[in-house]
Each structure stands twice: as C-alpha cells, then as structure tokens.
Homo-oligomer: A and B are copies of this chain.
C-alpha cells in the first residue's frame, strides 16, 4: 500500500522502450510518432501502472506549471463563489489546476507575488475589486502576459473579462418603465468598484433614453447592510421614487428589509429589483425580481483568456455576450395610483 507513484521510467521499463519516447507518446508530441505497436504498448503500460506525470518535474523542466492562480477578496459575495466555480470547472477541462488566493484582510500584493514569484502559477486571474488601479497596473507591468482581470476593467490593462453590467441595469429600468414607473432610484455600491460604475451608467443612460426621472445613490458597500441603509434614506426622502433598483443581489435583500421596516409595501407602494440573481430570490418576501447575469461564465471566459495568453496570444477585453435575463417575480408591479 501507499507505494511510490510510478514514474516515466517505470512505464518505459514495462513497455521496453526509452523514457523519452514514452514522454513523447503520452504527450502526443508531434515528434513522437511511435509505431502503432509500441505506441499501444506504452499506452497500456501507462494505464496499467496508473501513471500520472509529476507536475513538479514537468513544471521544472518546461516552466509550465499547468496551474492558474485565482485571487479573490474572499467569499463575501455569491458572485465570488460563482467565479471560483466557473474558473475551476473550465481550468480542469484544460488540464489546469487552480490555486486559491484570498486576501480578506491581508495584503493582496503579498498573495499575488507569493503565488507568482514562487513559480506556482502560469497566470493569475484577479477577481478582486479592492485593489487599486495603480497597484494593479504596477503588478501587470512586471508580469506582462499573465494577468487576467475578472469582472473588472482597468485602463492600461488589456486582458479582462466582464459581463454586460450596463445592459443589465438598463434592462431593469426598461422593465420598470414598462410597468409605468416614472420616478426610479438606483442604489449602487461604491464607485471604486467598476461593476458598480458600469451598472450606474447603464441605469442612467437607460433612464435618459426612456425619459424618466432617475436618481442614483452611492453607498459605501455593496452588501445587504449597505442596501438597507441606502433604501432607508431614499424611502424617507421628501419625494420618494416609486421604484428602487439595487446594484447587487445582497443589496436587494437589504432594500426589501428596509421597505418592510419603514412600513412601505412592496410592490404595492414601491417596486424593488436587483441586478444579479441568486437562488434565494425565490424565498424572499416578496420574491425578488432580478436581472440575471452569467457570473459563472465570467470565470470560464477568464480561463479561456488565460489560455490564450500563456500560449503567446494577445490580450483582449472580453465582454461575455450573454444577454442579461430579466426574471420577473413578485417585487415589481405598476406604481400606485
């Protein structure tokens, strides 16, 4: 039991050939066209011994670790979980491993440089909104072809993947206007997060295009507490809107709670809607209408872009094309009167 893992050597011996040939055959190296007979023998031997290439050895020799680093600020938001899941799944499909780096409290630089500088990873996927642009640019400057921004764009950094955040917000506005609303307020997280900026822009643009009165409120965070706080302020204002758009799903939960605490009926007196969907939307009171964005694709596409980069391709800005999906539930209705 627990014997040592078989090496290339073991396979070669079993097949009666040289290790290098085994290596080539197993990797489908173009220069390794063995005769059908030996090829079969090698494959069988490898199979029988349960041979798996040692990634350390391979990495050392070829300086490809077959590993991607994923930097997250933590798992505070369901979006991060979705990204992680999408990344892991797609990376696996390409034979890549994923090493996790979070930096809830700590210094993101430390995390990144540890991963990259120890030669642990071939590329870094950075899905943290909290690192400043300048710091990010500095980092990318030192590691030109191996950083992909996820759910974020930064001037001067070419490789990034984002969703149609603006369109999602616009679609929320369109839905409300279709219902008859003429006065809508958007509650968004801090404009240091570029998803929030894009959603706010989409919101404002759509409102202008549809000629409705629209205001936005920026709050300090993008969690339920921030949504709650923002909604309280809006609902207590002199002329409250008839509809509220929350910048994130957790914020939507907060907005709903605020309306309840303020004694404002949803959707009878005010409609509520959030950008981004979540499983639990169906279990809120009332069930929250949302605009769904494919967060898992974000991870998958980021991996694809990383694959392109590591194989010498050129960086691009990717926008995941999936149309935002409006999911009408119970929290939106025509305005009162």
**Chain A interface (Cβ < 8 Å from any Cβ of B):** 1-2, 5, 50, 52-57, 59-60, 65, 67, 70, 74-75, 80-82, 84-85, 88-89, 92, 97-102, 104, 106, 111, 113-115, 117-120, 141-145, 223-224, 228, 250, 253-254, 256-257, 260, 279-280, 282-285
**A58 smallest CB distance to B (angstroms):** 8
Partner of A250, one of B5, B70, B142, B280: B280
Q: Using Cβ atoms and an 8 Å threshold, which residues of chain B touch A92?
A: 101, 106, 111, 114
Q: Using Cβ atoms and an 8 Å threshold, which residues of chain B touch A84?
A: 75, 84, 100
Partner of A256, one of B80, B114, B117, B283: B283
**A33 smallest CB distance to B (angstroms):** 25
**A40 smallest CB distance to B (angstroms):** 22
The chain B residue with its CB closest to the CB of A53 is: B118
**A303 smallest CB distance to B (angstroms):** 13
CB pair A117–B50 under 8 Å, yes or no, is yes
Provide the bound-state CA to CA distance between A145 and B249, in Å.
43
Report if A279-B55 is in contact (Cβ < 8 Å); known contacts: A1-B144, A117-B5.
Answer: no
**A141 smallest CB distance to B (angstroms):** 7
A-B pairs with beta carbons under 8 Å apart, 30 shown: A1-B144, A5-B117, A5-B119, A52-B118, A53-B118, A56-B56, A56-B59, A56-B60, A56-B119, A70-B100, A75-B82, A80-B81, A81-B81, A84-B100, A85-B104, A88-B101, A92-B101, A92-B111, A97-B100, A98-B99, A223-B279, A224-B282, A224-B283, A250-B279, A256-B283, A257-B282, A257-B283, A257-B285, A284-B284, A284-B285
CB pair B60–A89 under 8 Å, yes or no, is no
Provide the bound-state CA to CA distance between A97 and B120, in Å.
9
The chain B residue with its CB closest to the CB of A260 is: B285
**A132 smallest CB distance to B (angstroms):** 21
Provide the bound-state CA to CA distance between A310 and B130, in Å.
35
Q: Using Cβ atoms and an 8 Å threshold, which residues of chain B touch A2?
A: 142-145
CB pair A100–B117 under 8 Å, yes or no, is no
Q: Top 4 nearest A-B pairs by Cβ distance?
A: A75-B81, A56-B59, A52-B117, A257-B283
Provide the bound-state CA to CA distance between A282 and B260, in Å.
12
CB pair B65–A56 under 8 Å, yes or no, is yes
CB pair B101–A224 under 8 Å, yes or no, is no
Interface centre among A52, A74, A143, A250 (most CB of B within 10 A): A52
Q: Using Cβ atoms and an 8 Å threshold, which residues of chain B touch A118?
A: 52-55
**A206 smallest CB distance to B (angstroms):** 27
CB pair B99–A99 under 8 Å, yes or no, is yes
**A298 smallest CB distance to B (angstroms):** 14
Provide the bound-state CA to CA distance between A111 and B96, in Å.
12
Kindly list 20 other residue pairs between chains A and B, CB separation below 8 angstroms, not including A75-B75, A100-B100: A1-B144, A2-B142, A2-B145, A52-B114, A54-B118, A55-B56, A56-B56, A56-B57, A56-B59, A56-B65, A56-B119, A67-B99, A75-B81, A81-B81, A85-B102, A85-B104, A92-B106, A250-B279, A250-B280, A257-B283
